[in-house]
Amino acid sequence: MFPFDYHRATTLEDAREAHAAAEEPAYLAGGQTLIPTLKMRLAQHDRIVDLRRIPGLTGIRRDGDTLVIGAMTTHQAIADSPEVIAALPALAAMAASIGDQQVRAMGTIGGALANNDPAADYPAAALALDAAIITDMRSHKAADFFGAFFDTTLDPGEIIREVRFPLAEAAAYAKIRNPASRYAVVGVFVARTAAGPRVAVTGAAGQVFRHEAMEQALAASFSPTSLDGVATSPDGMNEDQHASADYRAHLCGVLAGRAVTAIVGAGSR
């Protein structure tokens, strides 16, 4: 690791000031991506601003038809939460599939969303469920928030406070995990909402995206067989040592089918 100075923020304002006063600062949430990145010297920051002790950034609550999760809530807390399991069981199951037990004990939803790894899981849930990402400055719609390859609409220094997930009638997430990193080779989150079915795909391309052809097919008839013949173009799909673009395009259909099957019940296909 390159040297850095360390600031433990006590309030959001304190964090913003410490961040603004440095040349190349980084916020530290759970650190499960940032610390390995620093160790490999893939990043160099003159200051690390630790958000972990700022009060009020953890916790899970229901607000009417919305599930509200504090940014510093860990993946494990989301996976284990009775509120999440009752309101959005697909989100709890998705959180339980991230990394491993020890990573989930440290990693946070806010950190994962701010990092926006193109193979991360939460972006698919946030996009499919039309979540709002609330910062110390404003509210971002998930549809606008995620850019290509780690980019987001967060301004420098902006801090995620909480994520608001509108509840779905039903939802499921299916993914093929890279067995070493446990990131999604491809992951598909399907939500059945009052506004119609929504299908969000992560891991396949440079950023999470909605699969509109699948959404239209599912709107006509919400069943796995509706997806038969819905093509996914390999154009723009990621191609690496783990999977070709063609294979990732193929997995979009396979995993969407699994998610829809999980929603409607395994007996229907």
- Site residues (vs other proteins, CB under 8 A): 1-6, 8, 28, 31-32, 35-36, 38-40, 48, 50, 52, 76, 99-103, 105-106, 180, 182
d(CA 199, CA 218): 9
Residue 108: other Cβ atoms inside 10 A = 27
Residues in the chain: 269
Nearer to other proteins, 40 or 266 (CB): 40
| Of residues 35 and 137, the one with the C-beta less far from other proteins | 35
Q: Closest distance between other proteins and the C-beta of residue 101, in Å?
A: 5
Burial 116-144 (b: 16+ CB within 10 A, else e): bbbbbbbbbbbbbbbbbbbbeeeebebee
Distance of CA 104 to the CA centre of its chain: 13
CB of 181 to other proteins, least distance (A): 8
Task: Please say which residue, 4 or 165, places its beta carbon nearer to other proteins.
Answer: 4
CB-based contact 141:153 (threshold 8 Å): no
Say if residues 107 and 91 touch (Cβ distance below 8 Å).
Answer: no
Nearer of residues 54 and 237 to other proteins, judged by Cβ: 54
And the tokens for 53?
């002790």
Residue 81 Cβ vs other proteins, minimum distance, rounded to whole Å: 14
Give the Cα separation of 62 and 128 in Å (integer). 19
Q: Which is nearer to other proteins, 72 or 237 (CB)?
A: 72
Beta bridge partners, 68, equal: 61, 164
Q: How far is the CB of 59 from other proteins (least distance, A)?
A: 16
Please state the closest distance from residue 170 (CB atom) to other proteins, in A. 24
